[in-house]
Amino acid sequence: MLGDLEKGDSIMDVVGPLGKPTHIENFGTAVCVGGGIGAAPVYPIAKALKTAGNKVISIIGARTKELLILENEMKNTSDELYVTTDDGSYGHHGFVTQILQKFIDEKRRLDLVVGIGPVPMMKAVCNVTRPHKIHTVVSLNSIMVDGTGMCGACRVTIGGKNQFVCVDGPEFDGHEVDFDELIRRNRGYLKEEKMAMEELTYHEGARCYERSTN
């Protein structure tokens, strides 16, 4: 709705920030993995880790070259940057986890992995690092709804306990996240989300048509 506001309009209030800040220290070598728009939140984390003295290796990926974001920004704040695309239109043809697995196979020292992106991607990152006991942090910000802890939509199971992403997170130890439950719950309103998107698209199209005819 903010996009529909005109000059002089107002909103009642703004709530935030909520949740807990990213824990930053000199871990040693940190790998920052951003999938899709996950590159946006991973960028300031990579920047802060670099400022704290870490060696920062970044991996960003997208379905296609056109959907890739923040490549230059990530390059400027990283010691090494690797790019992947699902369709092979740019960089490595494949997934971010393949590059991460390559580092492990080469027995490179990895002290921290930060993975942010689609839930299946974060699960895959954790599956790669878990056998090697590499400390892995994921951000579940994408599943938040109201951001106040009231709606309960971002409830997750972390280490066998209920947590709320917006107030207890958004970042958690990835090896403690029950991703299977999270994926099931994330698909619970798929039908309603599709209907809402179709309705939004319809109204946006109607507004554009109205503006073009006035």
Residues 33, 112: Cα–Cα separation, whole Å:
11
Judge residue 18's burial from the number of C-beta atoms within 10 Å of its C-beta, 0-12 exposed, 13-18 middle, 19 or more buried. middle
Q: Check residue 36 and give its pLDDT.
A: 95
- pLDDT score at 150: 76
Structure tokens at 119: 């839930």
Q: Which domains, ranges and CATH numbers included, belong to the chain?
A: 29-189 (3.40.50.80)
Q: What is the pLDDT of residue 69?
A: 97
Pick out the chain residues at pLDDT < 50. Answer: none
pLDDT at 209: 62
Say what the pLDDT of residue 205 is.
74
Cα 122 from Cα 82, distance rounded (Å): 17
Q: Let me know: does 154 contact 143? Beta carbons within 8 Å.
A: yes
